[in-house]
Each structure stands twice: as C-alpha cells, then as structure tokens.
Amino acid sequence: MSFYEKIKSALASEFIYSDDIARAVALAVESGKNLLLWGPAGHGKSEMIQRALSVVAADEDIFVQSFGEGMDEATLWGGLDFAALENEKVLRYFPEQSFLAKSYAVFEELFDAPSSVLLGLKDTLTARVLRKGSQRFAMKTRVIIALTNKDPAEVSELGPAAHALIERFPIQMRVAWTSYTSQDYISLFGKVAPRLPGADLNGTSRILAEMIAKAGEQGQPISPRSAVHALGVVKAAASLRGSAVVEKVDLLDLKFVDGMENLAESLQKEIEAAAERAAAEGRVVEAERKLGTLLAGMEEAKKAQSPIKLLQSAKALAAFGDEAASLKVTDGLTDRRKRVRDSASEKAAEAQKLALENTRV
C-alpha cells in the first residue's frame, strides 16, 4: 500500500469528505511543496493533518506552531538567546529548536500573526536559510502545511507580506463539506460515536442528525465539530439521568451547544416531530414484517390445500388490511402504508377464492 493510500485510509476511518485532503497532503509530501488548507472553522483541519502526517513521519520529526497576534520572531525562530544579547549585545536565536530543524511543520492560523513575522518568514522560506545578522541556519523543513479560516484572496489584501507568503504555498485547498444533510451527520456520528464516552445512542442518532441539519438551514451550517459536541452532550445528558441509553428528553440539552441556541424555543416541537417520523417509520416496518408473516402462512395453507386454513388466512389478511389502513404515519410514508394495505386486501381475496375452489360441494 502506497503512503497516499495509507493516508486516505487513515483519514477515512475517522472523517468524512476527507479524500481530497488526503490527496493534497500526499501531493505536498511527494513534491516537497508547501500546502495551504483554508475554510470555515470546525471542520477538523488540524486533526486531519496531524493524522495524515502520522502516517508519513514520526512525531519527533513534526513541528506544530500556533500563530496569533502575540506571535513574534523570537518565538518563530526557536527563542531568543538572552546570553548573547546580554554579553555580546547581538540578537541570536535557537533555530535548532524551531520548525527549521524538522522535516514537516504545521502552522496553525498562520495569517493571524503580525506582518513583521510574516515578512521574516517569507524571506526565510524563499532563501531556505535563516539569515539574521551573522547567524545562518539552513532550513531542513521539506513541507510546511499552513492552516487558516481565512480565504487566501482576503489574506492577500492584508498587505504585500501576506500576499508574498501565500505564493510560497502553491498547493491550496478549501476544507468544507460538499453538503450538510442529515445523512452527512449520520455518517460522521458513525465514525466518532464509538470513541465518545457516555450513554448509548439508542437509535437517536438519526433524530439528532436531522435536528442539526435543520438548524443549519436557518443560517450557517452546523460545523462537524459542533455536531460532535452535540453528540457528546446528549450522551452526557443521558448519563446525568443515570440512564445507559439516550432518550428524547436528552436532546433538549442541545440548546447549550454553540450554534444551536436559536433552537431553544422550538426544540421541543422539533424533537417531537422528528421522533414521530422515526416512530412512524418503525410502525410501517413492523406492519411490513407482519404482512410477510401472514403471507407465509397463506402459502402454507395453499400447499396444504386446506379450505379452513385458507379462510383463516383470508380473515387474518382482511383484518390486517383494515388495521394497516388506519396506521398512523407521516406524509413521506403514505405510499408504503398504501402498498401494505392493498397487498393485504388482494391476498385476502385470493385466499378466500382458493378456499372456495378447494371446497367440495
């Protein structure tokens, strides 16, 4: 298995919509070109990169640096040599303790750093050598992966230093889901739920996924991170009740999850509607199962050519047809209910006809 296939497999085991990211990382590693991943927060950029790099390098060969407004050149270059500053009155750093000494570097929120830091970084990436006064340190880093929530086009508008730095990341990719449907969240839950503590979902993952998708339709989509937080909250809510399984009441605590606050007032109705749809699905499935049992009984009566058993089947199927007709379902299940009812009525009539045919006059 190639390292690309290993990366792809590793990411697919924990994330959804990760194939393109695996490809981008593999291209960066193979070509030695820097990679920029950008996109909305909460989509697991950091987690996916850490998982992907763990396939191609040992932990000690990966350097992770968080940038921000408090970032300075001393931090970037491994720390300031205070002894040299005090005794020799020169600025000197410890680059052997910085990303420059590692094969792979991950820069978190790179473009939140001050322009002076970005300019110094750009110059070093261009020369592949740290040049500060008389100090020189050859850059050993093969690939840098920068992560940001900002659009590169917007970053370019921050100034020449930011624009020039973006050009040092020739491989770029926006990290986001292609859709945010309930099925997307169900797929996500299937990967992360086994790793989360708390009560068993007890079949509520579909309801939870539907609610999260619905919440996203009212504004910005709910991020995967928030969805996982929501999953953890409902599992914890059940545990707080002393229950080993999640129930409908536990979903009310979703109002405490970031991005879902506006659901507080309508949450109860949403839960009841989603629960009714799930319950209606269960009723239809049970009716279909019962119909299958009745039809199997009718087939046995046909083989036995027993008028009494055929009449019994006809009576049971007719009664079941009436029962199916009054089955409470939601709009999306009316066609299935009709098929169950019509099938029962048709088979009841057939059984009664066969009973008469097998009766001697």
The model's pTM: 0.71
Q: Which residues pair with 66 in a beta bridge?
A: 108
3-state SS record for 296-330? HHHHHHHHHCCHHHHHHHHHHHHHHHHHHHCCCCC
pLDDT in tens, 329-344: 888 889 999 999 999 9
pLDDT in tens, 242-294: 999 998 788 888 888 876 766 656 666 776 777 788 888 889 999 999 999 99
Q: How far apart are the first and last CA of the chain?
A: 76
C-beta neighbour count of 332 within 10 angstroms: 10
Task: Tell which residue, 130, 64, 137, 142, has the closest CA to residue 103.
Answer: 142
Exposure of 260 in the CB half-sphere (CA atoms within 13 A): 29
Instruction: For each of the domains in the chain, give its residue range(s) and CATH number, in order of start.
Output: 3-174 (3.40.50.300), 182-265 (1.10.8), 275-357 (no CATH)
- pLDDT the model gives residue 264: 53
